């Protein structure tokens, strides 16, 4: 399966590489079912979303 087209510029990639984000997010969304990602949907719709919003739409204040 292809990666999400936003992966290279997505803050989730950066957080994962920095060791701040569990790999499950990458596997379940970015390299899995990215169509269900809230970040993806909002990006497509041109809607603002903060960098620390996770793929399920929840906010991680530690990011
Ligand atoms: S978090 Fe969402 S928008 Fe970002 S790369 Fe992963 S699937 Fe794509």
- In this prediction, residue 19 carries a pLDDT of 98
DSSP labels, 21-63: S-HHHIIIIITT-GGG-HHHHHHHHT----TTB-TTS-B-TT-
- Using CB distances shorter than 6 Å, the residues near ligand 1 are 4, 6-7, 10, 12, 29-30, 34, 37, 39-40, 43, 55
Q: Does 1 score more than 90 pLDDT?
A: no
* Cβ(43)–Cβ(13) below 8 Å: no
Distance of CA 40 from the midpoint of ligand 1 (Å): 5
**Torsion from C-alpha of 45, 11, 27, 18, nearest 10 degrees:** 180
pLDDT in tens, 3-17: 999 999 999 999 999
Domain boundaries, the chain: 1-63
Looking at residue 8, the DSSP 8-state letter turns out to be: G
């Amino acid at each position: 399966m292809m990666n999400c087209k936003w992966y290279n510029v997505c803050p989730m990639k950066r957080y994962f590489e920095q060791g701040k984000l569990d790999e499950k997010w990458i596997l379940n969304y970015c390299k899995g079912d990215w169509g269900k990602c809230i970040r993806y949907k909002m990006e497509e719709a041109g809607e603002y979303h903060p960098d620390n919003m996770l793929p399920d739409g929840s906010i991680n204040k530690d990011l």
